[in-house]
Amino acid sequence: MIESREDYNKHYKHSVDNPRKYWQEYSKNFMWKNSPEKILSWNFNDPDIKWFEDGTLNITENIFERNIKNKDDTAIIWEANNPSESNKEYTYSELFDEVCTFANVLKKNGVEKGDRVIIYLPMIPEAAISMLACARIGAVHSVVFAGFSANSLSDRINDCSAKVVITSDGNFRGSKVINVKGVVDEALKNSDCVKNVLTVMRTGSDIDMVKGRDLWYHEESKLVDNICTAEEMTSEDLLFILYTSGSTGKPKGVVHTCAGYMLYAQFTFENVFQYSRGDTYWCTADVGWITGHSYIVYGPLLTGAKTILFEGVPTYPDASRFWKVIDKYKVNQFYTAPTAIRALQSYGEKFIRDSDLSSLKVIGSVGEPINEEAWNWYNDNVGKNNCPIVDTWWQTETGGIMISPLPNIIDCKPTYATLPLPGIQPVLLDNQGNEILENNVEGNLCIKYPWPSILRTTYGDHNRCRETYFSTFKGYYFTGDGARRDENGYYRILGRVDDVINVSGHRIGTAEVEDAINLNKEVIESAVVGFPHEIKGQGIFGFIIIKESEKEIDYFSSIRETVNKYIGPIAKPDQILIVPGLPKTRSGKIMRRILRKIASNQFDNFGDISTLLNPDIVEKIISNYKKLSK
Ligand code: WTA
């Protein structure tokens, strides 16, 4: 673990001067079936990246068998949605039993190494257990956030030809009960690859079970034992696929492989949170996102940490829930998203005033830029001016945290993710692809050398991986983010430079939302852009051309419902504006920067609009906007 600023400097220099040696040394902390000798081979043009290629291992052995001394330590504390329901705790050895049992149920139902398994579960212990069970037997898990619609779920099931779906009868979320299994049933009408649906009982809801296809987990688990030897995996075998939105087309399956991901998840967890044995750590993300993968499940469990898995929402039963949970378990490291901070701030201090929170040592932020006001509120009210805030920048594709302060080692600066972790070589490029060497500049954030958990491909479509990440700037991994570097070399992330909107820390591609909106039968064409939103960071603004109609139609509700159906509630537009046309170039491309300005209530400095086919449309859109905002 890095312990001081000098230590960081030493680590960083070593990791850049001799990356192979640096990661080879770190790899010795792990349990290999075959130790690797070939450390790294790579080219970013194909891309073709291999870490520890000739090594073999199983990540779950590195959680359970490697840390055998910790077997009676608590691994997971599960806190239920409803505070009056008792929690559950698992020691490492209890968790190990559960994982092996689950793995044996999968095996019994024909799941083999390399098969894809979709996990569509609420935040219950089985979410983590089933991920680890897949890893134990070498099956590839793909967790789908349980807020996605049937349509989004079936797209993902079909894209990876999943053999099994793991779900639950229902989901307690705040005061609601959500019929998760019903969504799976609906999704499977459009999928024929799935042989079985393994259903965990959670809510006791009345659900349909399809004979021959659907199985109750609690019944299956009685038929197997809890001994399961770990499958031997090569370093570059697939560990998981996680779907994420991009600027074009449908979500793509980001692929992570076994060894590199494992190393980097542990490395970043222990350094960024400065976790010591006995600490209690809590990340509020959902396992359906990369943050849940790397920093609820893999990073903490590889480190032997005590990690909290929280089923509920920040505002149930009221807006003091997070603070109560922190006090209840004396949480030492707390990791959440700016959108949650802003939402809780908006409820006022009375919900946090009576909380003690003195157990906290480090507080973290992830998923979107944290604005200065939210940063200060977090620092004053949660950290009590006494906890470093780790503003961690990273992505689904990077697998782990890339740029972040290290608590009490690298000084924090509000809104800055600060310095790269060892092994990470960020650069800023101008639009022509030249590296900008000075400080106090802005540019496209790229990374110029591979790190162990860089994505390897996009599932089933390697070309898309190359086009999206490795073609814009030849020889670099392009993040899609813009960044600023200050006089000390600190990075501040400015947000996406592509057509991706970051809504409450969730990535949503504009094309995806437009495709959904266009399925509404009243719609001819649409364009969506992000606009500043007080709580969500960015909201979704839709400019819509509709068919002529005699009827009175509530377009706002109708369009939101369509998006809800095809993607899920997170992608519902916050505002829509009916327009007579869209600003297009002669080649038919929508000039989104104009729409972005209008949606942000700015009506000048549109830049060069001489290539517009229909410049008059801009005035018409502005006039409709002004009518709407009146
Ligand atoms: C944004 C989440 C500013 C960024 C781990 C990135 C951030 C996208 C930060 C990835 C941060 C993430 N400051 N922006 N600390 N962290 N982002 O794949 O735009 O869900 O490209 O991964 O979130 O989102 P993803």
| Overall domain count for the chain | 2
Q: Is 606 exposed, middle or buried (0-12, 13-18, 19+ CB in 10 A)?
A: middle
**216: domain range?**
5-313+392-470
What's the gap in Å between 270 CA and the centre of ligand 1?
Answer: 20
Residues 569 and 621 in one domain: yes
Residue with the smallest CA separation from ligand 1 atom 15 is 393
Supply the pLDDT for residue 249.
Answer: 78
Strand order across the 441-447 sheet: 426-429, 441-447, 477-485, 491-496
Probe ligand 1: pick from 394, 396, 494, max atoms within 8 Å of CB? 394
- Final residue of a structural domain among 470, 491, 520: 470
Q: Using the atom order of ligand 1, give the atom closest to the CA of residue 365.
A: 15
Q: Is residue 21 part of a domain?
A: yes
Beta bridge partners of 198: 166, 215
What's the gap in Å between 212 CA and the centre of ligand 1?
Answer: 42
What is the domain-level CATH number for residue 414? 3.40.50.12780
Whether the ω angle into residue 314 lies within 30 degrees of 0, i.e. cis, is: no
What's the gap in Å between 206 CA and the centre of ligand 1?
Answer: 38
Tokens representing 164? 């099994």
What's the gap in Å between 131 CA and the centre of ligand 1?
Answer: 23
What's the gap in Å between 352 CA and the centre of ligand 1?
Answer: 27
Q: Is 530 left (phi over 0), alpha (psi -120 to 50) or beta?
A: beta
Tokens representing 196? 């079985």
Residues 14 and 72 in one domain: yes
C-alpha distance from residue 208 to each of 152, 182, 215, 457 (Å): 21, 8, 11, 37
Q: Using the atom order of ligand 1, give the atom closest to the CA of residue 403.
A: 15
Probe ligand 1: pick from 148, 245, 393, max atoms within 8 Å of CB? 393
Evaluate if residue 288 carries a pLDDT over 80.
Answer: yes
C-alpha distance from residue 151 to each of 29, 119, 189, 364 (Å): 43, 15, 10, 34
**What is the percentage of the chain residues whose pLDDT exceeds 70?**
100
Supply the pLDDT for residue 449.
Answer: 98
What's the gap in Å between 369 CA and the centre of ligand 1?
Answer: 7
Q: Which residues contact 385 (CB under 8 A, 6 or more apart)?
A: 379
Quick check: 239 and 399 in contact, CB under 8 A?
Answer: no
Helical (H) or strand (E) element with 341: helix 338-346
Q: Is residue 436 part of a domain?
A: yes
What's the gap in Å between 292 CA and the centre of ligand 1?
Answer: 13
| Mean pLDDT confidence for 541-556 | 93
The pairing of strands 252-257 and 333-336 is unpaired
Residue with the smallest CA separation from ligand 1 atom 14 is 368
Q: Is residue 346 part of a domain?
A: no
Evaluate if residue 630 carries a pLDDT over 80.
Answer: no
The rounded Cα 71 to chain-centroid distance in angstroms is: 29
How far is the C-alpha of 427 from the C-alpha of 438, rounded, in Å?
11
Structure pTM?
0.96
Residue with the smallest CA separation from ligand 1 atom 12 is 367
What is the largest distance, in Å, between two alpha-carbon atoms of the chain?
Answer: 73
Q: Using the atom order of ligand 1, give the atom closest to the CA of residue 244.
A: 18
To 5 degrees, how large is the angle CA 598–CA 604–CA 605? 110
Supply the pLDDT for residue 221.
Answer: 98
Residues 532 and 624 in one domain: yes
Residues 130 and 174 in one domain: yes
- Final residue of a structural domain among 470, 489, 516: 470
Q: Using the atom order of ligand 1, give the atom closest to the CA of residue 493.
A: 3
Helix axes 616-629, 592-599, angle to 10 degrees: 20
Q: Is residue 334 part of a domain?
A: no
Q: Is 574 exposed, middle or buried (0-12, 13-18, 19+ CB in 10 A)?
A: middle
Supply the pLDDT for residue 67.
Answer: 87
Q: Is residue 56 classed as helix, strand or coil in its secondary structure? A: strand
How far is the C-alpha of 530 from the C-alpha of 543, rounded, in Å?
11
Beta bridge partners of 253: 243
Residues 457 and 515 in one domain: no
Supply the pLDDT for residue 393.
Answer: 98
To 5 degrees, how large is the angle CA 181–CA 559–CA 606? 130
Residue with the smallest CA separation from ligand 1 atom 22 is 395
Residues 412 and 544 in one domain: no
What's the gap in Å between 215 CA and the centre of ligand 1?
Answer: 37
Beta bridge partners of 508: 501
Supply the pLDDT for residue 470.
Answer: 98
Going 116 to 23 to 128 to 228, the CA torsion angle's sign is: positive
Q: Using the atom order of ligand 1, give the atom closest to the CA of residue 495.
A: 19
What's the gap in Å between 585 CA and the centre of ligand 1?
Answer: 31
Whether the ω angle into residue 19 lies within 30 degrees of 0, i.e. cis, is: no
Quick check: 38 and 54 in contact, CB under 8 A?
Answer: yes
Q: Using the atom order of ligand 1, give the atom closest to the CA of residue 417.
A: 15
Residues 403 and 451 in one domain: yes
Evaluate if residue 304 carries a pLDDT over 90.
Answer: yes
Q: Is residue 321 part of a domain?
A: no
Probe ligand 1: pick from 368, 370, 413, 491, max atoms within 8 Å of CB? 368
Residues 36 and 132 in one domain: yes
Supply the pLDDT for residue 608.
Answer: 83
Supply the pLDDT for residue 280.
Answer: 98
Helix axes 125-137, 92-108, angle to 10 degrees: 60
C-alpha distance from residue 59 to each of 67, 73, 257, 574 (Å): 12, 19, 10, 42
Residues 40 and 147 in one domain: yes
Q: Taking all residues of the chain, what is their mean pLDDT, rounded to a whole number? A: 96
pLDDT tens digits, 8-65: 999 999 999 999 999 999 999 999 999 999 999 999 999 999 999 999 999 999 999 9
pLDDT tens digits, 483-528: 999 999 999 999 999 989 999 999 999 999 999 999 999 999 999 9
Residues 506 and 464 in one domain: no
* DSSP sequence for 572-603: --SEEEE-S---BBTTS-B-HHHHHHHHTT--
How far is the C-alpha of 278 from the C-alpha of 176, rounded, in Å?
35
pLDDT tens digits, 70-122: 999 999 999 999 999 999 999 999 999 999 999 999 999 999 999 999 999 99
Q: Is residue 287 part of a domain?
A: yes
b/e burial code for range 289-310 (CB count within 10 A of at least 16 → b): bbbbbbbbbbbbbbbbbbbbbb
Residues comprising the chain, all counted: 630
Ligand 1 pocket by Cβ (under 6 Å): 244, 289-291, 365-369, 391-396, 417, 479-481, 493, 495-496, 502, 507
Tokens representing 502? 């970051």
Q: Is residue 489 part of a domain?
A: no
**What is the percentage of the chain residues whose pLDDT exceeds 90?**
94
Q: Enumerate long-range contacts of 346-355, CB under 8 Å, 24 or more apart.
A: 346/534, 346/535, 347/315, 347/319, 349/381, 351/318, 351/319, 351/320, 351/323, 352/320, 352/323, 352/381, 352/382, 354/320, 355/320, 355/323, 355/324, 355/326, 355/327
| Mean pLDDT confidence for 466-480 | 97
What's the gap in Å between 479 CA and the centre of ligand 1?
Answer: 10
Helix axes 180-188, 150-159, angle to 10 degrees: 50
- Final residue of a structural domain among 470, 491, 526: 470
Residue with the smallest CA separation from ligand 1 atom 7 is 368
Residue with the smallest CA separation from ligand 1 atom 6 is 395
Supply the pLDDT for residue 585.
Answer: 87
Q: Is residue 343 part of a domain?
A: no
| Mean pLDDT confidence for 592-616 | 90
What's the gap in Å between 49 CA and the centre of ligand 1?
Answer: 23
Residues 433 and 510 in one domain: no
Residues 162 and 81 in one domain: yes
What's the gap in Å between 219 CA and the centre of ligand 1?
Answer: 40
Q: Is residue 297 classed as helix, strand or coil in its secondary structure? A: helix
What is the domain-level CATH number for residue 542? 3.30.300.30
pLDDT tens digits, 405-446: 999 999 999 999 999 999 999 999 999 999 999 999 999 999
What's the gap in Å between 505 CA and the centre of ligand 1?
Answer: 7
Residue with the smallest CA separation from ligand 1 atom 8 is 395
Quick check: 182 and 191 in contact, CB under 8 A?
Answer: no
Q: Which amino acid makes up residue 185?
A: D
* DSSP sequence for 463-488: HHHIIIIITTTTTSEEEEEEEEE-TT
